[in-house]
Amino acid sequence: MAGRGRVRGAPVAALCLLLVSLVACGGRPAADGVRAEVQSLLDRRAAAVLDHDAAAHARTGTRGGFDNLRAVPLADWSYRVTALDRTGDTATVLADLSYRVEGHDRSPVTTARTLRLSRGADGRWSVDSDRPASRSGRQLWDQGPVRAVRGERSLVLGVGQSAARLRDYAGLADRAVPAVSDAWGRDWARRVVVLVPESLEDMAGLLGSPASSYRGIAAVTTGETGTGARAPADRIIVNPDAFGLLGDWGRQVVLTHEATHVATRAHTSAATPLWLSEGFADWVGYRGGGRGPTETAPELARAVGRGEVPAALPDDGDFGFSGDSDRLARAYESGWTACRLIADRWGEERLGAFYRAVGAHRQREGAVEDAMDRVLGTTREEFTALWRDHLRDRLG
C-alpha cells in the first residue's frame, strides 16, 4: 500500500508543477500585481487618515472625506480589497473598510465601499472616489464634516449640528448610562456612541433604508445581537426631526431606552421576541419617572377602555414601521406592561434574569416558555392570563 501511494503521488506533484507553470504564463500574476498595488495604495491612504496627514492622503488621490473625518477619534482604519475590475487605466474596486472609534469599539465596524481608481502617466494608481457600496448604508462623514463632543460616558458625533446641541445629547446619554446600569447591572461597556445626522433623510441614509421607514421614530440602535465582547460598540442613531418634537422628559426616555439596547445586546439573540427586548428597554426608560400606566401606555389604555383587551402578547410583526402608528404604539406599550408586570410580581432582578434566560436559547421556539418555567415558575398561558388581568386593573 505504501508503494502504491508513492507511485500515485508522482503524477499529482507533476500536475501541480504544470498548473503553476500555466498560471505563470496565463497572465494572472499581472492581475495579482495590480491588486497588490491597489492594496498598497489603500494601506497608505488608511495610514494617512490615522496620522491626520493631509499631504500623504492627497498623494493617494482625492481628498474627499478626509476633512470630514478630522474630529472623529479613530483607533484603527483599514481597507481590504475584495474585488477588482480593471479596464485599461481605470479600475473599480470593492473593499471592506474596517474602523474602530477610540475608547468605544472593542472590535472593528466593517462596511463595504466602492472605489474608482485611475492610473496616471507615471503608472501609479490613485483614488478618484470612495463611496458606500451598493446596499450599504452611508457613514456619518459621507454626509459632511463631523463635529464631536465627548461626555463623561458618551461620544456624540454630529453633522450639521451645533456644539451646544451635541452637548445636550451628551448630557442625556450621560444620565442614561447609570440609569441603565442601575436596572440591568454593570456587565456592559457603560458608554455609548450617539450619531446625530442633519435630517430624517440623512438618518435613513445611515441605515440604508427609505426615510418613510423611520418617520416619527425618534432614534434607533444598530448592532449585532448575541456577539458578546467581540462586538463593536452599538450606534444610537437619532432622527433629529422627531427627536426635536419631544420634551425634556421624552428625550431622556428615548436615550435611556436606546442605551438599554446597547447594554442588553450581548444577551439578546434570535430567541428574544421584540415584545421582550422593546418592552424591557421601555421599562428601563420609564423606570422611576413617576408617570402612571395610563400616561405611559395611552393607546393601549384607550383600547382596554373600549373592551379591546389583547388576547396575546404582540408578535414581532406588530413592531414593523408600517405607518399604523396606533398599532405600533400598542405593541410597544404591551411589551412595557408585560415587563412591568414581571418586575412588580417577581421583582426587578428576576426580570433581568428572565431576559438573559430567553436570550441564552439558540432558537425562538420554546425559549420564552422555558425561561418562564425556570425563572418565573409559570407557563406562557398562565402569564398571558395574568397580563390581561393586569391590563384591566391598571388601564381599564
Q: The domain spanning residue 215 has which CATH number?
A: 3.30.2010.30
In a domain, 227, yes or no: yes
Shared domain for 198 and 290, answered yes or no, is no
Shared domain for 258 and 153, answered yes or no, is yes
Shared domain for 127 and 152, answered yes or no, is no
In a domain, 391, yes or no: yes
Shared domain for 273 and 393, answered yes or no, is yes
Domain end (from 240, 263, 286) = 263
Going by C-alpha positions, the residue among 156, 153, 178, 159 that lies closest to residue 168 is: 156
Shared domain for 104 and 150, answered yes or no, is no
The C-alpha atoms of residue 328 and residue 254 are separated, in whole angstroms, by 16
pLDDT tens for each residue of the chain, 396 residues long: 444 343 334 343 333 333 333 333 444 565 679 999 999 999 999 999 999 999 999 999 999 889 999 999 999 999 999 999 999 999 999 999 999 999 999 889 999 999 999 999 999 999 999 999 998 999 999 999 999 999 999 999 999 999 999 999 999 999 999 999 999 999 999 999 999 999 999 999 999 989 988 888 999 999 766 555 566 679 999 999 999 999 999 999 999 999 999 999 999 999 999 999 999 999 999 998 888 899 999 999 999 999 999 999 999 999 987 667 889 999 999 999 999 999 999 999 999 999 999 999 999 999 999 999 999 999 999 999 999 999 999 998
Going by C-alpha positions, the residue among 78, 74, 79, 77 that lies closest to residue 101 is: 74
Q: The domain spanning residue 354 has which CATH number?
A: 1.10.390
Shared domain for 215 and 331, answered yes or no, is no
Return the C-alpha cell found at 180. 441603565
Shared domain for 306 and 367, answered yes or no, is yes
In a domain, 338, yes or no: yes
In a domain, 11, yes or no: no
In a domain, 80, yes or no: yes
Task: Record the pTM.
Answer: 0.89
Backbone angles phi, psi at 187, to 5 degrees: -85, 55
For residue 187, give Cα distances in angstroms to 143, 173, 174, 238, 356. 34, 18, 17, 25, 12
Residue 328's domain comprises 269-396
Shared domain for 281 and 355, answered yes or no, is yes
Shared domain for 273 and 388, answered yes or no, is yes
Please provide the DSSP assignment of 53-87 as one string. -HHHHHTTB--TTTGGGTTS-EEEEEEEEEEEEEE
Shared domain for 115 and 52, answered yes or no, is yes
Shared domain for 103 and 197, answered yes or no, is no
Beta strands in the chain, from DSSP E residues, in sequence order: 74-87, 90-101, 109-119, 125-132, 146-150, 154-159, 192-196, 219-222, 235-238
In a domain, 16, yes or no: no
In a domain, 14, yes or no: no
Backbone angles phi, psi at 208, to 5 degrees: 65, 35
Going by C-alpha positions, the residue among 365, 157, 330, 176 that lies closest to residue 253 is: 176
The length of the chain in residues reads 396
Going by C-alpha positions, the residue among 159, 170, 164 that lies closest to residue 194 is: 170
Cα 347–Cα 350–Cα 351 angle in degrees, nearest 5: 90
Shared domain for 256 and 360, answered yes or no, is no
- Around 140, how many Cα atoms within 13 Å sit in the side-chain half-sphere? 25
Domain end (from 79, 103, 136) = 136
Query: How many domains are there within the chain?
Result: 3
